[in-house]
Amino acid sequence: MDRYDLIYVEDPLHEEDFSGFSDLTSQVGDRCLICGDDLFVTNVSRIVEGIEQGSANCVLIKPNQVGTLTDTFEAVHLAHSNGMDTVMSHRSGETTDATIAHLATAFQCIFIKTGVVGGERTAKLNELIRIEEQIA
């Protein structure tokens, strides 16, 4: 982490290694976001387990993984209420729907993950620009 001055690492260990995530977070979490994607799968009960073990300081949020906006809100709220950052994320096979740009803004996520630049990814970035122009 220090050699390359990383500020964000996603799923650095196996998805069931809550303890290993905890060790890493305690070592570098003050200077790097240790983000759980497969560790948490936007699942409140897994986020609770991660909070209890100190397994990460950031949660990747995939609205279409958890299924509902209510469940998405609950996952984000739980993370934020426990001092964790959140990253709103696309999933593979995305469309040009830009909803995650609005959710990332509304939920005050620290980052948005849209993938490599391409049609469906660019639509989300362009929507972020439109949102910024409206609220700036």
Q: Is residue 51 part of a domain?
A: yes
Q: Look at residue 1 and tell me if it is in a domain.
A: no
User: Is 3 inside a domain boundary?
Assistant: no
Question: pTM score, two decimals?
Answer: 0.92
Domain count, the chain: 1
CA dist 12 and 115 (Å) reads: 18
pLDDT digits (tens, 9 = 90+) for 73-98: 999 999 999 999 999 998 877 777 88
Q: Residue 129 sits in which domain range?
A: 8-135
Does 84 reside within a domain? yes
For the stretch 24-27, contacts whose Cβ atoms lie closer than 8 Å and that sit 24 or more positions apart, written own/partner, are 25/54, 25/55, 25/56, 25/57, 26/54
In a domain, 2, yes or no: no
CATH number at 87 reads: 3.20.20.120
Distance CA 15, CA 13 (A): 6
What confidence tier does 117 reach under pLDDT thresholds 50, 70, 90?
Answer: confident
